[in-house]
Amino acid sequence: MSIETDVIELLKKLEGTKQYQTKMKYFRNGMFHIYKDSEGFETIGYGHLVKSNERSKFVNGITEQQADQLLLVDYQKAKRDADSFNLDVPERWNALVSILVFQLGKTGYSKFVKHLAALKNHNYATAIAELKNSKLYQQTPNRIDQLLYWVTN
């Protein structure tokens, strides 16, 4: 399996599998529907932030194939944005940065100055400590712990 396939599957798990979304009623009658994420933002599929100009095309839901396609497009954008940080780190650490950019956006992730500095210096223990010493970790500890486990094992 390629790293991209691994990351897509991990993102589906982190953003809410189809089974989880079925339980929460976000996936019903064979379609993913708009829901509010933990911060109150309208979201659909696997963590796609619904922009105001997109809402009308999602109002009746999207198919699993459309959700997969949205996830792939969103991940590829996050990966390009993550690559712009020019980090020379192992593949899974690059993937971690892409996932964090997927979650926070490039601007949001760029505020993790000490974490980024640690990655640039290949100081992975400090990079982990900086993630764990963040508001993001306070808000989503299980998610960050899962990501860190995935990166380090």
**Spatial separation of the C-alpha atoms in residues 152 and 125, rounded to whole Å:** 10
Q: Token match 């019903």: residue?
A: 28
Sequential DSSP letters for the chain: --HHHHHHHHHHHHH--HHHHHHTTSEETTEE--EE-TTS-EEETTTEE--TTTHHHHTT-B-HHHHHHHHHHHHHHHHHHHHTT-----HHHHHHHHHHHHHHHHHHHHT-HHHHHHHHTT-HHHHHHHHHTSHHHHH-HHHHHHHHHHHH-
Is the per-residue pLDDT at 1 higher than 80? no
| pLDDT for the residue numbered 100 | 98
| pLDDT for the residue numbered 143 | 95
Q: pLDDT band for position 87 (50/70/90)? A: very high
Which CATH number is 3-152's, of 1.20.5.50, 1.10.530.10, 3.40.50.300, 1.10.530.40?
A: 1.10.530.40
Q: Token match 């989880």: residue?
A: 20
Residue type, 19: Q
Q: pLDDT band for position 9 (50/70/90)? A: very high
| Residue 48: φ, ψ to 5° | -75, 120
Is the per-residue pLDDT at 78 higher than 90? yes
Is the per-residue pLDDT at 38 higher than 90? no
* pTM exceeds 0.85 for this model: yes
For the chain, the structural domain boundaries read 3-152
